[in-house]
Structure formats: C-alpha cells, structure tokens
Amino acid sequence: VVHRLGDALVVRHPVYVERLFETTIEPEDKRRAIHALLTAYTVYPSPTRRYVTRGAAQVFKFTLNHRFLRNTFHGNESMVLGVYQTFQKNFENDGLFWLQFGLALRDQGMHLEAMEKLKTAVDAYRISQTEHAYAQQLLILAIDSESRTRATSLVAEAEEMLLRLDGNEAEVGNAYPIVTLSELHTAVIRKHDGEQRARALAKHY
C-alpha cells in the first residue's frame, strides 16, 4: 500500500500511514523524523511560513501542531515538549511555534509556563488565534487562582481581548471568543463569588 513517487512515499489513504505510526514505527524513530523535518526549516528567516511555498508552510504548521505531536507520541510529555525545547532558539521569532508550545504546555497542565509562551506568541505574531489562546489561558489561571483580586485582574485583561475579537466576528478554529469568555468567566465567578452570581452572569451572556 506504500508506493514511491520520485523522492516521496505515497499511500492511497492517510489511515494507512496513521496505522503504521501507531503499530510499527518506534517512538524514537518518529522523534528523529520530526526533528529532521523541522531542522530543514531552520535555514529560513522567521516567520517561517512567509519564506516557503504554501505546501511547505502547511507541513511546517502541521508538524508543530500540539495535537499532532501528542497523538504521535501517545501523550508522552517528555517527547512532546522535547520537540519544542529543542527548537525554541531556532524559531524564537516565530509566533506559530510559541503558540503551539504554549498549547502543548496547557495540555500537560503546566499553566504558568503556558501563559509565558502564549504571551510570547502574541508579542511575536498578534493574530486572532494567538490572542484567543492567550486570553483563554488568562481565564484558566483566574479559575486556578486562590486570590480574588488576582483573578479579577486576569479576567479584565482576558475580557478586553475576547470582546474585541468578538466584535470583529472572529472565529478561532471551532471556538468563538464570546463562548470562551462566557464559559470560563462564569467558572471564575462561581469559584470566587458563588453559584448565584455565576448563574446571573451566565444569564447575562
């Protein structure tokens, strides 16, 4: 089911490749392949996607994706984060890299580290996706915070950003900014101000 076409290996359906990756290819071989692929992009200036073909940009984006790495390494934290840690100097000016690094850290419950990386993503590449991810992280930290004052400050920063994105009718992936704000803001209020206030806020949204 695998055929050679010039320098490429081709299959009739992605399921074949996914099955090979799941059952046959060792994690270390997958790690080496991903590192080799990303190394090929280190010769380009940042942001990388501006200096490569559209197809190559899609490969770069897909390879860095935190969900792809999580699935490829079956959730192995050290292998997933190891990819980002290896290349953080090479892609230090690439907002897409920091976005995916931050989301990978979020997956692992490392929320303070995730906020740091997502703030770097916003500074390097201020688009709706990076702002949405950063604002969402602020709200996650507000829920986790034991300080009502700290939580209020985090919510205020996130609220400004998400309402602005909502005003631009932004859709980020499959999520809308107003949905993110309403769900997480309500959760913050439930923790710090009780169920009744949370219900009133949910009704407002």
Q: Which of 69, 74, 70, 49 is nearest to 59 (CA)?
A: 49
Tell me the pLDDT tens digit for each residue of 87-144: 999 999 999 999 999 999 999 999 999 999 999 999 988 889 999 999 999 999 999 9
The single residue listed with the structure tokens 């230090």 is: 92
CA distance 54 to 140: 34
Strand partners, 9: 4
Tell me the pLDDT tens digit for each residue of 76-90: 999 999 999 999 999
- 2-5 vs 8-11, strand pairing mode: antiparallel
CA distance 83 to 68: 12
DSSP string computed for 143-169:
HH-S-HHHHHHHHHHHHHHHHHHHHTT
Predicted TM-score (pTM) of the model is 0.87
Judged by DSSP in three states, 179 sits in helix
